[in-house]
Structure formats: structure tokens, C-alpha cells
Amino acid sequence: MDKSINILLKNSPILVFLLIWEVAGWIAATPLLPSFTKVVGEFYDLLISGILIENLGHSFVRVVIGYLAGGLFGIIIGILMGTNKSIETALKPLISILLPIPTLGWLPLMMLWVGINEALPIILIFICAFFPVAYATLLGIKEIPQEYINSAKALGASNGYILMRIILPLASPSIFTGLRLESGMVWKTVLAAEMFAIPTGIGALMINAESLIRVDVIMVSLMVLALMSFGFEKSIYALEKAAIGKWR
């Protein structure tokens, strides 16, 4: 009983918001503010027609490729910087300067350099994931007390063995934090790239809906985007729990 009351209380702000939205939609009676049930109906129509799945599929593939490539490359560069002083000295200032640039700040430059094609959103997502993950990996490695490394060396472990068994696992909480923070950002990035430059994907669906004054479609797209972003972050969190939850 207590549990169901708790669930109800926890979700009550959402329920109240949906109720207000529904009533406001009915009162306004204008296409500019469709009710919640109208938006759900449109979601169903877009799903059945395959339009939503097709556009979501385009966005999803771009996000996954860009995020995995950027994350992986970020981890590799972070490890190189964290374990080699010369590489750190050479790369850290560059990364520190480029890290604060908002990903969308790269969009005009990339449009000119890469052109308006499939590579554009993927490169932007790559940039979005790369810098923070590289920095998080570096910080994670730097925070490992030297005594762990010394103890491992005294036990006869080679540098490669120490990297795989000690450095990477102990830096992984920081790496996962970087990955998790960017898991939402990459969806914002793909949305913007598709709205401005690419004719397919959730962002393109939204911008097309805007030109047809289809607020219901825009709202469906926003809801899908929110769900994808939330799901992505939760997946990374679940991966983190599975990888390091036992000992952390």
C-alpha cells in the first residue's frame, strides 16, 4: 500500500502536468497547442506509418557511431596522456582550449569543411563525446594514488599488466562519468545538426513539421528525443553498475 502511494506521489508532478496540458489543449482549441491525447494519437500515427521509426533510426545510427567513436578515441587519448608525461604536456593545453567550445560552435566550420552530408552529424557527435571523455579519462588516471602503481610494480607486474588490471579499472568511474554526461548531449547535438543541415532524422522531422505548422509532430519528436536521451543515460549507468558496482 505504502509503495503504491509512494509511486503515486513521485509521479504526481508529471500527472498534474499532463492534466493541465490536456485541459489547456481543449480550452485553447488551436493547432498551436494540441492536447496531450492528440499528441499521443499523432505519435501512434507516425509509428504505424513508419515515419517515426525511419527518422529515429537515422538519428540513432548517427548518435551510436559518433558517440562510440568519440568515446573510444577519447579514452585512448586520455590513457596516452595519463600514462605518458610528454604526450600529456603536448596535448593537454590543446584539449583544455578546445574542450569549452560548445559542440554546435563547430557546426558552421564543419559544414564548410565536411559539407552537408551524412558525415556532418557524426563528426559533430564525435567532437561532443571526444573532448569530455578524453579529459575525464586523464583526470581519472591522475587521481589514482601512485602507491597502487608502486605496489603493483613491486609484485612484478609489467606496465601493460598494470594498465589493464589497475589503471583502467580504477580510472573507470571517472570515464563513465564523462560518458554519462555526454550521453544526453549527443542527442541535442544530432537534433541541431539535423535541423540545420540534414534532411533525415528526428531534427529534420521537427523542422519539416515547423514549416507545416504541425505542433503535434514537433511535440512527438521532442518526447521521443527526451526518451532516447533518458534511455541512453540510463543504459550507460547500467553498464557502469555492471562493470564497477561490485567493488565501488
| Interacting residue ranges for another protein, rule: CB under 8 A | 145, 147-148, 150-158, 161, 165-166, 169-170, 244, 246-248
Q: How far is the CB of 102 from another protein (least distance, A)?
A: 35
Q: How far is the CB of 167 from another protein (least distance, A)?
A: 10
30 DSSP assignment? S
Cβ(184)–Cβ(195) below 8 Å: no
Q: How far is the CB of 164 from another protein (least distance, A)?
A: 11
Place of cell 613491486: 154
Nearer CB in complex with another protein: 107/162: 162
Q: How far is the CB of 152 from another protein (least distance, A)?
A: 7
Nearer CB in complex with another protein: 194/240: 240
- Report the alpha-carbon distance of residue 101 to residue 28 in Å, rounded: 41
Nearer CB in complex with another protein: 41/173: 173
The identity of residue 62, as a single letter, is R
> 73: closest CA among 130, 158, 157, 139?
130
Longest dimension (CA), the chain: 75
Nearer CB in complex with another protein: 94/154: 154
Q: How far is the CB of 4 from another protein (least distance, A)?
A: 35
Q: For the residues of 187-221, what is the DSSP string, one character each?
A: HHHHHHHHHHT-SSSHHHHHHHHHHTT-HHHHHHH
Nearer CB in complex with another protein: 44/161: 161
Contacts with 193 (C-beta within 8 Å, 6 or more apart), sequence order? 62, 107, 120, 121, 124, 125, 203
Q: How far is the CB of 82 from another protein (least distance, A)?
A: 16
Nearer CB in complex with another protein: 13/156: 156
> 82: closest CA among 170, 193, 183, 176?
170
